[in-house]
Structure 1
Amino acid sequence: MAFSLRTVLPRSIARPIPRIAPIALHRRYSSAGASAVAADNGEQPFFPDEPRAPIVKTQIPGPESQKAIERLSKVFDTRSLNMMTNYQRSYGNYIADLDGNVLLDVYAQIASIPVGYNNPSLLLAATSPEMASAIINRPALGNFPQHDWADILETGILSVAPKGLGQVFTAQAGSDANELAYKAAFMWKRQHQRGGSHIEFTDHEISSAMTNQSPGAPQLSILSFKSAFHGRLFGSLSTTRSKPIHKLDIPAFDWPQAPFPALKYPLDQFAAENAAEEQRCLEETERLIKEWHNPPAAVVVEPIQSEGGDNHASPNFFRGLRELTKKHDILFIVDEVQTGVGATGKFWAHEHWGLSSPPDMVTFSKKAQTAGYYYGNNELRPNKAYRQFNTWMGDPARAILFRAIVQEIKRLNLVENTAVTGDYLYNGLAQLAKKYPNEIQNLRGQGQGTFIAWDSGRRDEVLKRGKSVGINIGGSGEKAVRLRPMLVFQKHHADILLESLEKIFKS
């Protein structure tokens, strides 16, 4: 008899689950509120079984959460803990704790939840035989790729590849994706310097590499920008410039840091000043490319500097960067770990720029629930096996999940939803800014979906007070409040957020 995975899986695993919310959620949350929303504004909710509003029963953390935190702290570092979460009771745009509190989540696991907690479509993908096999038979993809790996990539990760970048190297996390892209850039640069991929390594290169000396370990660099965040591993950390706490006590590479434009707001009132600032930053970037003692093999940049304070620049600035990298024969890496997968009203944030040619590599993670970098140039493949390699080289289970995420995004037209909802939310915040000018300063993110932020003189208090009025919200940089809602965030959620923020501003 032919072997079938379905014959060895228990029925409870192999059977698809119904497309409904978890039973516990149905018992707790009434759809009456969502129906009222649809009647009021014509908007059809993506999660009809969500609560109609946040539920705040106790202070946060409440007594049950406090007990759980105390227990966890004995075996795990909880000093960065935001909230002890009950994921079995979290649903859609709402995050729940152990004390019956249910908050509107506009932080979404630091921008990492794409289509809602306990999304039924993802639950179906998670309980499929294909997923079960990927989890329990996790392959070392470089050596033993599963037979349908090409199909999984083509129908998922590569189906949303940035224009011109039809290949992918999968990874474990955002930091890992960036480091692998850096490695690819260095190998590409040295290959060009040697005269092509067919040129063999010299004995001197081979021996010096083993002692971390040049030429085997070349004196090259990756140029990044002030306030950038690209990860916390060794190479990515050397390009991270957001907060000292990330970098203290860790040896770092001698790599250059260019200034990122410090724009003034409102943008329409400072157009000339901002254009001059961007030109200044481009000129300094070019000077560093030409003069830095460890020449850059690539420039890496975030479309919006997220961890560093939600700093924006215009499409002209990024187009200028692209031209500089072409002029000086180095690579252009766009770090879309946080901005990618629909958050800015485009699937990839760099689509807003109108580039003359695609980036050389685009890194991704977070909302993709997997990681890696896209590329198009075959020269970015190392000339020999095992040069870009590790045991896992990604994870088919996470790639299958991303495929389901992509299907859900397309089914519900969530990129367009994010653009429309973002405009609605931005306009509401602009009205609040007029009413409370000391609370919302330098509002930014117009036309960038829900990727919106502003500065606050009492930022940390605003974040803390948020939970007391039913919202889970985050910050970035020294004083920015950043919004990172899910792609299923809609106008009626924006209304709740705006009302909750006004409660905070009045206090």
Structure 2
Amino acid sequence: MSRTEQQEAEYIINTYNRKPGLTPCLVRGEGVYVWDKEGKKYLDLLGGLAVNVIGHCHSQVVEAICKQAGTLSHVSNIYYSVPQVKLAEQLIQNTMPGGKVFFANSGTEAIEAAIKLSRRYKPGRFKIISAERSFHGRTLAALTATGQLKYREHFNPLPEGFSYATYNDLESFASLIDNQTAAILIEPVQGEGGIYVAEENFIRGLRELCDREGILLIFDEIQSGMGRTGKLWAHQNWGVRPDLMAVAKGLGGGLPIGALVAAEDYTSVFEPGDHASTFGGNPVVCSAAMAVLKIILTEGFLDDVHEKGLYLKKGLEKLISSYPDLAAEYRGLGLMCALELKKPVARQIYEKCITNGLLINAVGDTTLRLLPPLIITMDELQEGIDIIGSALKEC
């Protein structure tokens, strides 16, 4: 083992499936590429798991971080903060006019805030319906909302009031509603579950169902948001607006941030003392997020993401045609996609890609997940497609 691998084994609690001798130690990034300690270059089609939406070390984000860090790096939320207020204004104007935002440090915190607000809204209503195969975070309530037993099974007793319906099955959700139901929580595109895209009739049906039953509709846009699908938020592809929305990952451009966005009818549910965050809305992070938003909202940027998504889809579908005994299906929307395999060799392909200078992700035994930076070019996408093709050929 290298010195870094030895130190990691000695000092860091092991919660990630790193593999000594294979998993690179990354020390530098620029654009869509990263480099390890030995100087090896990798094309990053994982983007920090949808965090590095505008790539690594974007000059405008670096400038915003440095300027704010040299001015004021932290202030308690007891006080007003200019970067926090400015970011909130930009988010609301481009997301949910009339709404308001609560800032946290991560996606799971944003989900926790959404759960608390939905339970606070109507006394006696506390139940949350989420989807099977979903992923909403690892803090206790977010974990309980996650529709994958493998993440929950070792942490009983879990909070009460959570149930799981079948994704893209409106009747399955409707059957679980009773007079204690507070909200339905879903990902417009399931990420950790393997990239499953919501059907338009399902999304629209959920909105109508929640309106009819008087319950809140919560969208988890932590992975699918910030332009990843070709729209600023994935739900905008269907023209359906949630009551609450959790965002994180790409918003900070590499720095930790989370946010709960609430529609106008729900902005006064929390009162002072109901919820808080020491580091939420940190001025340095908010400055970085404003720079990220400015880039993504530049005219033509999201249209380009859409076109790149179509190019990536076409390239992966060509691989399916070339390797029909191994590659089964493309799933995705924009630059959030998966290649489903017919054999349990996802980990093998992932490892071959690392060896050949490409970073992707294996989800379970049969799914490869791709979440490239949105600034990637067609040529760079083709480079990644070619490396995946070589890995498929070797399996």
Counterpart residue type for residue 299 of structure 1 = I
SS at match of 1:374: strand
> Rg: which structure is higher?
1
1:332-481 superposed matches below 5 A: 332-355=217-240, 358-369=241-252, 370-382=257-269, 384-411=271-298, 413-445=300-332, 448-456=333-341, 457=343, 458-481=345-368
1:302-341 correspondence runs (5 A): 302-341=187-226
- The 3 A distance-change label for structure 1 pair 285 and 148 is closer
Q: What is the one-letter code of the residue matched to 1:238? A: T
**Structure with more of its chain in strand, by fraction:** 2
Query: Is it true that 1:134 corresponds to 2:72 in the alignment?
Result: yes
| Shift >4 Å, 4+ stretches | none
Quick one: distance in 2 between partners of 1:303 and 1:379? 21
**What is the aligned residue count?**
384
Residue 105 of structure 1 pairs with residue 105 of structure 2: no
Residue 131 of structure 1 aligns with an amino acid whose one-letter code is A
In the other structure, the counterpart of 1:166 is 99
* 1:290 alignment partner, SS class: coil
Q: Which amino acid aligns with 1:73?
A: A
| Whole-angstrom distance in 2 between the partners of 1:390 and 1:501 | 42
Contact 2:44 2:360 in 1 (8 A): yes
Question: Out of 176, 183, 186, which is 1:288 matched to?
Answer: 176
1:378 CA drift (Å)? 4.3
- Counterpart CA distance in 2 for 1:405 and 1:148 is 13
> Secondary structure, in 3 states, of the residue corresponding to 1:232?
coil
Structure 2, unpaired ranges of 5+? none
Aligned 8 A contact 1:185 1:380 in 2: no
| Distance change >3 Å, CA 303–CA 165, structure 1 → 2 | farther
**In angstroms, what is the RMSD of aligned CA positions?**
2.0
Residue ranges of structure 1 left out of the alignment (5+ in a row): 1-62, 191-217, 262-277
- The amino acid across from 1:284 in the alignment is S
Q: State the shift of 1:77 in Å.
A: 2.6
Which stretch shows the higher mean deviation, 241-250 or 169-178?
241-250
Asked whether the equivalents of residues 222 and 255 of structure 1 are also in contact (C-alpha less than 8 Å), the reply is yes
SS of aligned partner of 1:309: coil
Corresponding residue for residue 141 of structure 2: 235
Offset at residue 91 of structure 1 (A): 1.0
Q: Give, as a single letter, the amino acid of the residue that structure 1 aligns with 2:92.
A: L
- Tell me, in whole angstroms, the C-alpha distance in 1 between the residues paired with 2:83 and 2:392: 54
Which fold has the larger relative contact order, with Cα–Cα distance below 8 Å and residues 6 or more apart in sequence?
2
Rate the CA distance shift 1:496–1:360 in 2: closer, same or farther, 3 A.
Answer: same
Structure 2 residue 7 is matched with structure 1 residue 67: no
The more displaced of 240-249 and 327-336 is 240-249
Alpha-carbon contact 1:229-1:307 (below 8 Å) kept: yes
Name the CA distance, whole Å, in 1 between partners of 2:272 and 2:15: 42
Secondary structure in structure 1 of the residue aligned to 2:39: coil
Partner of 1:25: none
Are 1:151 and 2:86 matched, yes or no?
yes
Preserved CA contact (<8 Å) 2:353 2:391: yes
Contact 1:69 1:84 in 2 (8 A): no
State the AA in 2 paired with 1:486: P
Specify the alignment match of 1:85 in structure 2: 25
- Letter of the structure 1 residue corresponding to residue 71 of structure 2: S
1:482 aligns with 2:365: no
| Percent of matched pairs sharing the same residue | 25
- Compute the displacement of 1:145 (Å): 2.1
Q: CA deviation at 1:220?
A: 1.9
| Contact 1:165/1:374, CA 8 A, preserved across alignment | no
2:160 — aligned with what? 254
Q: CA deviation at 1:131?
A: 3.4
Between the aligned partners of 1:467 and 1:114, the Cα distance in structure 2 is 21
Secondary structure, in 3 states, of the residue corresponding to 2:272? coil
CA distance in 2, matches of 1:500, 1:392: 40
Which amino acid in the other structure matches residue 76 of structure 2? A
Q: Distance in 1 between matches of 2:259 and 2:150?
A: 26
| Whole-Å separation in 1 of the counterparts to 2:284 and 2:375 | 23
The structure-2 alpha-carbon separation of the partners of 1:396 and 1:97, relative to structure 1 and needing over 3 Å to count, comes to same
